[in-house]
Chains A and B, each alone.
Chain A
Amino acid sequence: MENISFKIDGRVCSAEKGQNLIEAAKQNGIFIPTLCHFKHLNPLGTCRVCTVKNNGRTIAGCTVNVEEGIDIEVNTPELLDARKAILEMMFVEGNHFCPSCEKSGDCQMQNLGYETGIRFTRFPHLFVDRIVDARPERIVVNQNRCIKCKRCIEEVRTNDGHRVFNFTHRGNNTVVGIDYEQEAKLSETQAEHAMHICPTGSILVKGKTFGKPFGDRQFDFGPEGKMIPLKEVKKHKTTNKKKRIATTSLAGCFGCHMSMLDVDLGLLDLLEVVEFNKSPITDIKTFTERCDIGLIEGGCCNTHNIEVLREFRKNCDILVSVGECAIWGGLPAIRNTVPLEDCLKEAYLNSMTSEKGETIIPNHEDIPKILNKVYSNREVVEIDYHIPGCPPNANHIWNVVKHILFEEEYSIAYPEFKYD
């Protein structure tokens, strides 16, 4: 085999002629993120996460075979941002509720989210109603999580060579369709193989969904010692001797507040340098002074949430969305794909606990009105920083706060950066 030399981001690399760029880069110690690329499959070129420049032309890296003298760009600011944007598109196009997903922690897409440092998506979530199909014999297909990478379409076949999956429809309605007849012919091993090659949690084998013990997940531990710097976070200049903090929980579960308390004795150290103003922790109901920083848990599901959020914006210099619900709606946003009327009827009229013949959906001028969907805080006021997690790790929260308020530099340990 002929060896050739080529360049990645100006560095001279060598590989076998015609080798796939992703593999060739890996051998030279350069990581190009991919989702659809799979060992022995022909390049699919569907996810576009591996977008690189080849002699100045953008192309999916997985479709490039290296040749003598080619000049590849991988980690330019433009490409890094484009790659992140594509992942964000995947997050908003599907309905990825990491905290309630069986594959969380073992999901390749989620892991790339960590790798690229996605804290929030620049795009608003689309909340398209997608089905969870349990009709197949051995598997369940959760279309909410499918990113249409095409791996299963190309890889999973019956013993007589028939496809089990294929795309149906087109455009934004494209979905991976299942052939129930062929699926029934899959062996247990073949079905499990389908589950394993799915880069997200879209294909699950019935009865095998929690294969690994919780807390023993492959992506929970990043590269040893890897820290996520907080370079995008601006320092806050203030003359207050003791920094003032306000917190609130909107459409959240108070889990994020629990997590704030989870620094244990660290809280006492913190109280040396900060004081809490309006917050469930102090039970102060209205702002008594302007605050340096406001921490918001939960998104906006009713009119009261909107009012409180606007009040926080008015009274805090810096506003931080804490947790998935605050960032994009989170678990309460599961209702966003269901019409509001159905939600209210299910909750108040037809639920198991409602009285027979109940006709009243609670409403009164003193009760906040329910919004047509759960909104992220970004859609209502400007948010300065986002702390992902469900809930975020206590260290993550306080490191961000300390980084913003004090001169010292802090960073986030890789395992503290999570979406669940």
Chain B
Amino acid sequence: MDRTQLLNKLWEYQQQFGYISNQAILEISKLLNVSNIEIESVISFYHFFHKTPTGKHLIYLNNSIISEFKGFDEVKTTFEKETGCTFNEPGNNEFTLLETSCIGLNDQEPAALINFQPFTDLTPKKVKLIIQKIKNGENVKDFCSKTISKIRFTPKNDKTVIFRNYRMGESLQQMQKFSPQQIIAKISKSKVQGCGGAFFPTGYKWQSCRNNEDDAKYIICNADEGEPGTFKDRALLQHLPGLLFEGMTIAGYATGAKEGIIYLRAEYFFILPELEALLQEFRNKNYLGKNILGINNFEFNIRIQMGAGSYVCGAASALIESLEGRRGEPPVRTHSATKHGYLQKPTVVNNVETLCYAARIIELGEDFFLNIGTPESPGTKLISISGDVAKPGIYEIEYGTSIRDLLGIEMSQATSPYFVQVSGPSGECINNTEFDRKICREDILCGGAFMVFNRNRDILQVLRNFMEFFKEESCGVCTPCRAGNYILTEKIKKIQRGLCAQEDVDEMKQWGKIIKLTSRCGLGKSSANTVTMAVDKFKDYFNVKIAPSNFNKTVEFDMEDAIHEFDSIIKETQL
């Protein structure tokens, strides 16, 4: 067996037996001729692999902040009551209950995956019904929720790029009129930027992959969509998967790659059958395979690799590690992926949305694209809006649209917005004096997540949810991110308990800066962004929390809490 197949092999065991036994580890390590600990290290890295038996029904309830605000607690207790199990414990033969970070259904919270089938807009009543049905022996596949997100907005006056009519093969037909180098020139001219969050110029990336001669090259589509609050890639995979396949094929044509891999997050298992079916149709129609559209020697194939539950695997370098069957630790960078990427071969890693734009640009022409948006960021952008808005869902907006417009009556219809989180927890928070800022390179970029919180929401609860996420999702390889995010989470908890002095708030900011300064990869470099910004942007909120400094130079100390344990032990044992 080849190491790149390790994740698939582990999935086989996980799905067949509900866990990966020591015996299985032994077998796999023999096959790969490595020590057992190496297999264990991979298993324990990924959230969806288990080393101990799980119940027949594995329930993952999303604990993202939007879910928390939409009734997570009641739903959670109902699950526990109905199944007789407790969350984050092994459970019984029938059920295992686990919490999980955002599953890309933020417009339909609270949401859960039961055996990887989606159940959305959960209420205690709904949960009761679901568990009853399961107990009656019904198959979850037969009654799971429809998840397709509403496309709430597209620009008028023929300015829509993505969500317009799609005809299979249209962009490939256009592609064959141009040489690979001309395709790259068109993409470069369009100034299209990566939509995965880093906004790197796509044309440049493709060009450098093309320039690096090698016997194999790869196009990897990053469909890991792990940033809480983002679900635009899922929407694309559900609405326009063909456009993505064409985009990948065009990237292959332009760079000289013959193989494309879609790294799909395990949370989206439920989309897999449709994707596989469409891939087959593409192959049947010769849109994939050898001599595509009769172009001599142009060969391109696409396969789908399932992830296994890890946010950091969305980072391009960690994603490649994961594809190669290892822990998703971002490696120490010596070369860019376009030179030594997957299997050390030149590789392009692009986000789902980016590749869809590439296909549209070839189909509609770069001038069409350049006429939309702002000078620095032409075109449109997909935004996934969730939270305290009347119309959560997918918005295709022209670059240059203001946050106020996004919140307004024409679009998401937010109710007394107070705190807007742009680009997810690793992005930026916005207060209500900044609503005139515009989504574009000239002002503020948005990776896709747009979470709106109203005046009644507690900022510390938001911050704590974000930090717990990073604490859990850090790959653990470098000190500031592994320990720092933990320390910062504890700090926020302390402030939440009402033990807050001015120093605590100042320290929160200083410590965040240190984590940002010294961490190895993008995760640690951005995990404390929101905390450090919120301290300045929501001064009024924090000022209320801060206890005045006192003459006795004592520090906020909760004596009651400190002796509570002793008192109850005495009460219990000394009767």
**From residue 323 to 379 of chain B, which have CB atoms closer than 8 A to chain A?**
327, 329, 332-334
In chain B, residues 476-493, which have Cβ atoms closer than 8 Å to a Cβ of chain A?
476-480, 482-487, 490
What residues of chain A lie closer than 8 Å to B564, measured between beta carbons? 372
Contact between chains at A380 and B479 (CB < 8 Å): no
- CB < 8 Å: which of A63, A85, A171 contacts B474? A171
Chain B residue numbers with a CB within 8 Å of A170 are 44-45, 310, 327, 472-476
Q: In chain A, what residue has the closest Cβ to B520?
A: A45
A172-B486, A372-B561 are known contacts. Are A164 and B35 too (CB-CB below 8 A)? yes
| Residue A47 lies at the interface, judged by CB distance under 8 Å to chain B | yes
> Is the CB of B40 closer than 8 A to any CB of chain A?
yes
Which residues of chain A (144-179) have a CB below 8 Å from chain B? 147-148, 150, 158, 162-174, 177-179
Q: How large is the interface on A (under 10, 10 to 19, 20 to 34, 35 or more residues)?
A: 35 or more
> Which of A120-128, A238-246, A257-265 touches B?
A120-128
Q: Could you say which of B1-9, B447-455, B549-557 contacts chain A?
A: B549-557
- Are the CB atoms of A85 and B34 closer together than 8 Å? no
State A93–B570 Cα separation when bound (angstroms): 31
B475 surroundings in chain A (CB, below 8 A): 170-171, 174
Any chain B CB within 8 A of the CB of A51? yes
Do residues A361 and B485 form an inter-chain contact, with CB atoms below 8 A?
Answer: no
Contact of B37 among A85, A179, A314, A380 (CB under 8 A): A179
Q: Does B559 contact A (CB under 8 A)?
A: yes
- CB of B502 within 8 A of chain A? no
Distance in angstroms from A200 CB to nearest chain B CB is 13
B-side contacts of A162, CB under 8 Å: 34-35
Shortest C-beta distance, A336 to chain B (Å), equals: 12
The yes or no answer to A134 lying at the interface (CB within 8 A) is no
Q: Enumerate chain A residues within 8 angstroms of B327, measured Cβ to Cβ.
A: 167, 170
User: Is A9 part of the binding interface, using a Cβ–Cβ cutoff of 8 Å?
Assistant: no
**Chain B neighbourhood of A147, CB < 8 A:** 479
B38:A47 contact, CB within 8 angstroms = no
Q: Are B477 and A303 in contact (CB under 8 A)?
A: no
Partner of B482, one of A44, A85, A158, A172: A172
Which residues 352-382 in A have Cβ within 8 Å of B in the complex?
Answer: 359-361, 363, 369-373, 375, 378-382
Which B residues touch A341, using CB under 8 A?
A: 565, 569
Determine the chain A residues whose CB is within 8 A of the CB of B490 once the complex forms.
Answer: 124, 126
Contact of B552 (CB < 8 Å), options: A51, A63, A172, A313: A313
Q: Which residues of A contact B (CB under 8 A)?
A: 42-49, 51, 58, 60, 63, 78, 81-82, 85-86, 89-90, 92-93, 122-124, 126, 147-148, 150, 158, 162-174, 177-179, 181-182, 303, 306, 310, 313-314, 319, 340-341, 344-345, 359-361, 363, 369-373, 375, 378-382
Contacts of A369 in B (CB 8 A): 563, 566-567
In Å, the complex CA distance between A47 and B518 comes to: 10
B479–A48 touching, CB < 8 Å: yes
Question: Interface size class for chain B?
Answer: 35 or more
Distance in Å: Cβ of A99 to nearest Cβ of chain B? 23
Given A58-B518, A89-B487, A93-B486: A163 and B34 within 8 A (CB)? yes
Does B519 sit within 8 A of A, measured CB to CB?
yes
Give every chain B residue within 8 A of A182 (Cβ-Cβ): 35-37
On chain B, the residues within 8 Å of A43 by CB distance are 332
Q: Are A344 and B569 in contact (CB under 8 A)?
A: yes
Q: Which of A51, A123, A164, A169 lies in contact with B45, CB distance below 8 A?
A: A169
Given the complex of chains A and B, what is the CA–CA distance between A50 and B507 in angstroms?
Answer: 23
Q: Can you list 10 A-B pairs with a CB-CB distance of less than 8 A?
A: A45-B520, A60-B332, A81-B514, A82-B517, A124-B487, A163-B37, A172-B483, A182-B36, A369-B567, A381-B553
B483 touches A361 (CB 8 A): no
Q: How far is the CA of A90 from the CA of B484 in the complex (A)?
A: 10
**How far is the CB of B548 from the nearest CB of chain A, in Å?**
14
Q: Assess the A310–B552 pair: CB atoms within 8 A.
A: yes
Across-interface contacts of A371 in B (CB, < 8 A): 562-563, 566
Q: Which residue, of B333, B334, B562, has the highest number of chain A Cβ atoms within 10 A?
A: B562
**Nearest-Cβ distance from residue B59 to partner chain A, whole angstroms:** 22
Within 502-554 of B, Cβ neighbours of A (below 8 Å) are at 507, 511, 514, 517-520, 552-554
Chain B residues within an 8 Å CB radius of A171: 471-476, 482, 485
Q: Give chain A residues whose Cβ lies under 8 Å from the Cβ of B472.
A: 170-172
Q: Is the CB of A86 within 8 A of B518?
A: yes
In chain A, what residue has the closest Cβ to B514? A85
A38 → chain B, closest Cβ, in Å? 14
In the complex, the 5 A-B pairs of residues with the closest C-beta atoms, listed nearest first: A174-B476, A179-B37, A166-B41, A93-B483, A89-B483
B16 at the interface (CB under 8 A from A): no
Q: Of the candidates B38, B480, B517, B569, which one forms a contact with A340 in the assembled complex, judged by CB atoms under 8 Å apart?
A: B569
Which A residues lie within 8 Å of B557 (CB)? Answer: 306, 375, 379-380
- With a CB–CB cut-off of 8 A, which chain A residues contact B474? 170-172
Query: Contacts A89-B487, A169-B44, A361-B569; is A174 near B37 (CB within 8 Å)?
Result: no
Given contacts A86-B479, A313-B553, A340-B569, contact A168 B35 (CB under 8 A): no
B483-A168 in contact (CB<8A): no
Contact of B519 among A48, A78, A344, A361 (CB under 8 A): A48
Q: Does B52 touch A at the CB level, under 8 Å?
A: no
Other A-B pairs beyond A48-B479, A60-B520, A81-B514, 10, CB < 8 Å: A44-B332, A86-B514, A148-B479, A163-B37, A167-B45, A169-B45, A170-B45, A172-B482, A177-B41, A344-B569
Query: Is B573's beta carbon under 8 Å from chain A?
Result: yes
List, in ascending order, chain B residues with CB within 8 A of A382's CB.
553-555
> Do B485 and A123 touch (CB < 8 A)?
no
Show the binding face of B for A, using Cβ within 8 Å: 34-38, 40-41, 44-45, 310, 327, 329, 332-334, 471-480, 482-487, 490, 507, 511, 514, 517-520, 552-555, 557, 559, 561-567, 569-570, 573-574
A165 and B37 form a contact (CB under 8 A): yes
Q: Which residue of A lies closest to B33 (CB)?
A: A162
Q: How far is the CB of A45 from chain B (nearest CB, A)?
A: 4
Asked if A168 meets B553 with Cβ closer than 8 Å, knowing A174-B477, A361-B569, the reply is no
Establish whether residues A45 and B478, one from each chain, have CB atoms under 8 Å apart when the complex forms: yes
Question: What is the bound-complex CA distance between A167 and B482, given in angstroms?
Answer: 13
Contacting residues, chain A, for B479 (C-beta < 8 A):
46-49, 86, 89-90, 93, 147-148
Instruction: For residue A350, give the distance in angstroms from its CB to the closest CB of chain B.
Output: 12
Assembly CA distance A63 to B477 (angstroms): 15
Q: How far does the alpha carbon of A329 sit from the alpha carbon of B36 in the complex, in Å?
A: 39
In the complex, what distance in Å separates the CA atom of A181 from the CA atom of B35? 8
B517–A303 CB distance below 8 A? no
Q: Are B566 and A63 in contact (CB under 8 A)?
A: no
Cα(A73)–Cα(B344), bound, Å = 32
A294-B442 Cα distance, complex, nearest whole Å: 57
Q: Are B487 and A92 within 8 A (Cβ)? A: yes
Q: Are A340 and B310 in contact (CB under 8 A)?
A: no
CB distance from B335 to the nearest CB of A (A): 12
CB distance from B359 to the nearest CB of A (A): 35
Q: Chain B residues near A93: list those with CB within 8 A.
A: 479, 482-483, 486-487
Give the residues in chain A near B44, CB-CB below 8 Å: 168-170, 177
Cα distance A182–B34 in the bound complex, in angstroms: 10
Given A162-B35, A179-B36, A378-B555: A340 and B565 within 8 A (CB)? yes
Q: Are B37 and A363 interface neighbours, CB within 8 A?
A: no
Partner of A167, one of B476, B484, B486, B566: B476
Residues of chain B with a CB closer than 8 A to A340's CB: 565-566, 569
Cα distance, A165 to B518, chains bound together (Å): 26
> Which residues of chain B are within 8 angstroms of A173 by Cβ–Cβ distance?
476
Give chain A residues whose Cβ lies under 8 Å from the Cβ of B552: 310, 313-314, 381
Most buried by A among B334, B477, B480, B487: B487
Taking CB atoms, residues of chain A closer than 8 Å to B520 are 45-46, 48, 60
Closest-by-CB residue of A relative to B36 is A179
Per the bound structure, the CA–CA distance linking A382 and B551 in Å amounts to 11
- In the complex the two chains form, what is the Cα distance from A375 to B567 in whole Å? 18
Distance in angstroms between the alpha carbons of A382 and B549 in the assembled complex: 11
Do A174 and B482 have beta carbons less than 8 Å apart?
A: yes
A363 touches B574 (CB 8 A): yes
- Whether B36 lies near A181 (C-beta < 8 A) is yes
Smallest CB–CB gap between B193 and chain A, Å?
A: 21
